[in-house]
Amino acid sequence: MSIEEKVKELNERKERLKLGGGRAKIDQQHAQQSLTARERIETLLDKDSFQEVGLFAKHRCTNFGMAGKEFPAEGVVTGAGTVGGRLVHLASQDFTVAGGSAGEVHSDKIVQSMLSALKTGTPFVFMNDSGGARIQEGIDSLAGYGKIFYHNVMLSGVVPQISLICGPCAGGAAYSPALTDFIIQTASARMFITGPSVIKEATGEEITAEALGGPLSQMNYAGVAHFVAENDLVALRICKRLLSFLPSNNLEDPPQLEADDIVVPDKTLNTLVPTDPKKGYDVRQVITRLVDGGDFLEVQPLFAPNIVVGFARILGRSVGVVANQPSVLAGALDINASDKGARFVRFCNAFNIPLVTLVDVPGFLPGVQQEQGGIIRHGAKMLFAYSAATVPKITVIMRKAYGGAFLAMCGKELETDRVFAWPTAEIAVMGPQGAVNVIFRNEIAQAEDPKKRRQELIESYQSTFATPYAAAGRRDVDDIIEPAETRRHLAMTLDILHTKREFRPMKKHGLIPL
């Protein structure tokens, strides 16, 4: 054969392999409003930036009629490309090829892409769309999953890992996304360890696949998913936006965009938070006034909504925002909120993203269910995460800051770099009403007018203890600022702290109360 004939043969082989399971399977994928594995990659990456690795990979299984069966690209497309000019490594499972089932070589291809991400210090994006382990390969398919899980852990804290759930993700396959940093699940995708039929067989319970493993279940109740997307296109847009806030690895600072250094006072902030500590409001309105262009990417918005976490920029610098949400449970910290907040803080610290904490917390949520569910253990995660964090930590106390929850929201004693308070801040062991009931119980009972005396004592307690001035006098607050000036103070502090270095005792790792 001449070189021209050989090149022609090569191109024909490539074209055939890139068709995956064939035109009929691709049409079926499109009929279900889903993109194919390759279309997802093309949509995510910059044009013509994808370099595929392993197109000609073949399985080695000969059991159960597998000998001689061709699975194009082994059912997963792997390689590297750029998103916004920045390199990422990725793997995209191809449901048109044997249902995207994972066998030995399929898993090895994924692991190779993960190792390349580790070596080059670039994010790893895994697009999941698989029927699960390839049964014909038996233990080899399970071993393949084990390798993926192990390397998920090796990448953890070194490069960002993002999972997109674009189709079925059941059984052992669900554990790889669970080991990554962020999960973006599409509306039609389902994720669970045991499906409805297995659950009915084992426990007698009946439930639909959507109610069990749909995105709302995994977001609202389980707290597994971080973002819910209407379809593949929206999921890929979220992935791009998320990557824009993150560094490529743990040795880099987050990308900094060009920004106008002029910050003008925002008088809206002076009245946005009610002075009455019992009135609720949406803290996201405060966040959007403080960040560049009101651009705030909220993470897990429907899980533990009494705490708000997400990414934003202040004068072009990426920041992680953690804020109490007074419109839900008065902003109290409960078990789920503590887990959500602690995990987000740990991620930001691993990837050099400064933390901005907005405080309006009445305490930890009281109740038998919370206590028996382990609020002590879960609440301690917040204390551990913030204490262990060495990135710049800035706290703004807007209103209530009571008890241990005040400390758990990055109080000064957790080596917080700056603590600002608004004049409306109330900082104390507990709220004035509760404190007076404890301290002055006998005096109130013996007063001629107990109701009047109680109110007098509450006002006295507020003016003496539950003010930012008392805390500032003790240096638990660095400065008391006008709300309208908050963005300026945040911007200045971030600029001052961007070279922060903090050294800790040498150890393998701390033991967070899991």
Catalytic residue among 121, 138, 157, 172: 172
pLDDT at residue number 132: 84
Q: What is the DSSP letter of 300?
A: S
Catalytic residue among 170, 174, 401, 405: 405
Beta strand extents in 15-59 (DSSP E only): 51-52
Q: Which residues of the chain have pLDDT under 50?
A: none
In whole angstroms, give the CA distance from residue 234 to residue 146.
30
Catalytic residue flag (residue 404): yes
In whole angstroms, give the CA distance from residue 185 to residue 50.
23
pLDDT at residue number 160: 98
pLDDT at residue number 450: 82
pLDDT at residue number 138: 85
pLDDT at residue number 136: 87
Residue 231: both structure tokens together: 């379809």
pLDDT at residue number 66: 85
Residues ≥6 apart with Cβ < 8 Å to 391: 348, 349, 352, 353, 354, 355, 500
End-to-end Cα separation, the chain, in angstroms: 64
> Letter for the amino acid at 221?
Y
In whole angstroms, give the CA distance from residue 94 to residue 128.
9
Q: What is the DSSP letter of 408?
A: H
Residue 63: both structure tokens together: 């059991």
496-506 as b/e: b if 16+ CB within 10 A: eeeeeeeeeee
pLDDT at residue number 250: 98
Beta strand extents in 333-463 (DSSP E only): 355-361, 393-402, 418-421, 426-428
pLDDT at residue number 441: 83
In whole angstroms, give the CA distance from residue 129 to residue 168.
6
**Residue 427: strand pairing partners:** 401
In whole angstroms, give the CA distance from residue 426 to residue 273.
13
Q: What is the pTM of this model?
A: 0.94
Catalytic residue among 54, 320, 404, 411: 404
Expressed in percent and rounded to 5, the helix, strand and coil fractions of the chain are: 45, 20, 35
Catalytic residue flag (residue 171): yes
Helix (H, G, I), strand (E, B) or coil at 358: strand
In whole angstroms, give the CA distance from residue 281 to residue 274.
8
C-beta separation of 133 from 142 below 8 A? yes
Catalytic residue among 121, 138, 157, 171: 171
Q: Which helix (H) or strand (E) holds 324?
A: strand 317-324
Give whole-number Cα distances, 299 to 227, 235, 304, in Å: 7, 13, 11
Tens digits of per-residue pLDDT, 157-203? Answer: 999 999 999 998 888 789 999 999 999 999 999 999 888 988 999 99
Q: What is the DSSP letter of 477?
A: S
Tens digits of per-residue pLDDT, 54-77? Answer: 999 999 887 887 888 889 999 999
pLDDT at residue number 173: 86
pLDDT at residue number 461: 77
Helices vs strands, H then E, count in the chain: 21, 17
